[in-house]
Structure 1
Amino acid sequence: MKGKEEKFDLVSETKRLIIRPLQEADYENWLNEFKNRYPSKYRHDQGQLDMSECTAEWFENLVYKHQELAVRDIAYVFGVFRKSDGIHLGTVDLSTLARDNFCWGRIGYSIHNQYWRKGYGKEAVKEVLYIAFNQLKFHRIEAHINVDNSASIKLAESVGMEFEVIRKGFIFEFGEWTDNIIYYKNSAIS
């Protein structure tokens, strides 16, 4: 496995995107794109959020926290930026669930709703899966998806993730224990 410093410096480019950890200099761009979100239209669309507590100092602490999580191999949070103009499009994150004999992680993804249906999510998730298997040396990555989140299910399938199981009462959200569909991909099928 690569050294801790190398893990944090993960930067990757696709045809249209730059995928990398957030930096303090991203604050205004990051904040503006959250402020430019459309109102929520679906249950799994956070829509516009109250960003009043997200000061430059708050963001600096967030960047530092992300760095610490990466150095400790707990989580890797990648900002997704459009290559043509540097606009922040969203986030893809990896969480380490187990190492040792498992090398098992979870992927999460969120693209600002004003950039939906342009293929950015698929492009970003596909690249972060490549990073997970080839640079961070995970063997298995799971996506834990609400059973009624058809857009997220389609995205997982479009990047080659396979349905595995429905985990009953898996996560506490929306005021109750909810079921999640588990999609997975492993390094043998990447």
Structure 2
Amino acid sequence: MIKFNYYIETDRLVIRPLEREDYTPWITEFENRFPSQHKYDEGKIDMSVCTKDWFGDLVDNHQRMALDDKVYVFGIFRKEDNTHIGSIDFSTIMREDFQWARFGYSIHNQFWRQGYAKEAVKAAIILAFEKLNFHRIEAHINLDNTPSVRLAESVGMQFECIRKGFIYEFGEWTDHLIYYINSNSSFGI
């Protein structure tokens, strides 16, 4: 089977697709999460359905989506000990003359305020431009998600607009801030 295996490294991190062998570091850090810190932090979640077989299916699904150019999911791992810090994903919105994607990021809350999110997002943006060949990347952020806004701005993303009634969540259509960066942008990497 052809395998999607793009990755990028920073001083402290490796950002790469999940592999079946990642089950233990992956499940361990989900189980080590602190209770929810705010509205957009799931905190501790029930991982009882997440068996090794379930995880293998997840890895296979991530591979299929990447090979179909739909969604690229990357695990964030600490280099020194292979600890799973979180994840980053890119969803293709449109190719052709646009080369446009949405991206999301999630860091386990026990690793917050250590610079991992900024380091990982900066590197992942480079990977998206240089390996996935996207030209435009957008982050869709809830209006009151200040930590996510700060992160987007800290990596050089620019505020573009508020999209009204944009995403259905929390039982209603919600507005989102749109932050973007283009491949020809200069952002201090």
The TM-score with structure 2 as length reference comes to: 0.96
Aligned partner of 1:54 in structure 2 is 50
Distance of 1:12 and 1:187 partners within structure 2: 17
- Per the TM alignment, residue 123 of structure 1 is displaced from its structure 2 partner at its CA by 0.6
Q: How does 1:67-146 map to 2 (within 5 A)?
A: 67-146=63-142
**Matched residue SS, 2:184:** helix
Conservation of the 8 A alpha-carbon contact between 2:136 and 2:180: yes
Conservation of the 8 A alpha-carbon contact between 2:70 and 2:92: yes
Tell me the C-alpha RMSD between the 2 structures: 1.2
**Matched residue SS, 1:33:** helix
**Matched residue SS, 1:19:** strand
Write the letter of the residue equivalent to 2:148. S
**Matched residue SS, 2:166:** strand
- Write the deviation string for residues 38-85 of structure 1: whole angstroms up to 9, x where unpaired: 000200111000101101111000000000011011111000000111
Distance of 1:69 and 1:141 partners within structure 2: 18
Distance of 2:101 and 2:83 partners within structure 1: 28
Distance of 1:41 and 1:95 partners within structure 2: 27
Write the letter of the residue equivalent to 2:66. A
Which structure: greater helix fraction?
1
Aligned partner of 2:159 in structure 1 is 163
Distance of 2:165 and 2:136 partners within structure 1: 22
Mind listing any 5+ residue stretches in structure 2 that lack a counterpart? none
Distance of 2:7 and 2:89 partners within structure 1: 13
Distance of 1:51 and 1:59 partners within structure 2: 11
Distance of 1:65 and 1:15 partners within structure 2: 29
- Write the deviation string for residues 7-33 of structure 1: whole angstroms up to 9, x where unpaired: x11021100001100000010110010
**Matched residue SS, 1:189:** coil
**Matched residue SS, 1:94:** strand
**Matched residue SS, 1:109:** strand
- Write the deviation string for residues 66-121 of structure 1: whole angstroms up to 9, x where unpaired: 00011011111000000111100000000100000100001100000000011101
Write the letter of the residue equivalent to 1:42. H
Match of 1:181 among 172, 177, 181: 177
Conservation of the 8 A alpha-carbon contact between 2:7 and 2:127: no
Is the counterpart of residue 19 in structure 1 residue 15 in structure 2?
yes
**Matched residue SS, 1:47:** coil
Instruction: Give me the identity figure in percent.
Output: 59
**Matched residue SS, 1:164:** strand
